[in-house]
Amino acid sequence: MAIVTTDDKHYTDIANAIREKTGATKKYKPAEMAEQVNAVYLYGHMAGVVDGEEAVFPVAYEHGKAEMHNLWLNRALTELDEPDITEIPNYQFLGMTKMEKVYCPNVETVGVGALRDCGYFRLDFPKATAIAELCFSYTSTFTALILRKGTLCTLGNKNAFTNTRIANGNGYIYVPSSLKSEYESATNWSNYAAQFRAIEDYPNLDNENALQIVQQPADATWTLNKSATFTVDVIGDGLLYRWFIDKQDGNGWVRSTYSGNATNTQPIGMYDGRQGWKLYCEVTDAYGHMVKSNVVGMVVEE
């Protein structure tokens, strides 16, 4: 019988490949690697939307859990539509910054960092029973979490909401009125006691039409070295504004850093070199509904 030797580098390469496939971050012992390789061998599919088109993405099934391959998606997922899954595993959608909508009505458990650093505004989990640490963290747009189940959902750590609007006091957690007091004093949830709202008290919670733009911003033509003002008029509850600018410099849309960027009015100095700049406003209400204004432009008079 021949004896074959190997070195640590080969084990490291195998472990790195496993982590790339599963999205895991843990270290593996050599004895664990065969099981992990076997676990990611079979592939299935998960549905979503990329750039407005329906798409199906490959996923690996590990012990019955769907593990989305972040690298396969190239962070391009904009909507998640999975009505049948009951679990979102650890780090499943980490870094999906373009993912603005999530529809998973049968999810019961949400894993560690599963929806971290994404782009959604609202999550509605009617059947959720457990939410793990870091789950929604660094999703700066996250405004509304809706938990409809008639029993308390556990929260693994208060850091699940780090750097979200809920943690910053501008977002809310909606629960049945019969559980509101229990949530406000429950482990980890108590850190966000001031953000709890009773579902029954907010009839527009599920009414997307309650948020409407009644006046769009308009294109501006202004005298060089003066200022133009862009305004959007919106009706809705608890409105939050974010203006975006495309400076035509190859970097695409970026958050405005100019004074007024978090209000319904955005002034912009009309200086040379800003010809062709474009703007739009994103508006979110207290229920996590979001609308975007028309894109408008700036034309600087010579």
Per-residue tokens: 278: 């474009």
Q: Strand 144-147 relative to strand 172-175: parallel, antiparallel, unpaired?
A: parallel
CA distance 271 to 266: 15
Distance of CA 44 to the CA centre of its chain: 24
pLDDT at residue 161, rounded to an integer = 98
CA distance 146 to 196: 10
CA distance 214 to 235: 7
pLDDT at residue 56, rounded to an integer = 53
Give average pLDDT by consecutive 10-residue segment, the chain, 302 residues. Answer: 52 70 64 56 46 52 42 66 91 88 95 94 98 96 97 98 97 98 98 98 95 95 83 97 94 94 94 88 97 89 60
Let me know the angle formed at the C-alpha of 297 by 292 and 299, rounded to the nearest 5 degrees. 165
CA distance 302 to 210: 42
DSSP 8-state secondary structure symbol assigned to residue 125: E
Domains and CATH numbers, the chain: 42-201 (3.80.10.10), 208-301 (2.60.40.10)
Q: Tell me how far CA of residue 211 lies from CA of 70, 114, 214, 223, 290, in angstroms.
A: 33, 29, 10, 34, 8
The dihedral over CA atoms of 135, 136, 139, 145, expressed in degrees to the nearest 10, equals 170
Q: Tell me how far CA of residue 130 lies from CA of 62, 157, 178, in angstroms.
A: 20, 11, 19
Q: Strand 53-62 relative to strand 196-198: parallel, antiparallel, unpaired?
A: unpaired
CA distance 233 to 252: 25
- Give the position of tokens 């579902």: 199
> 38-48 burial by CB neighbour count: b if 16+ within 10 A, else e?
ebbeeeeebeb
DSSP 8-state secondary structure symbol assigned to residue 237: S
- Give the position of tokens 């600018």: 245
* pTM reported for the whole predicted model: 0.76
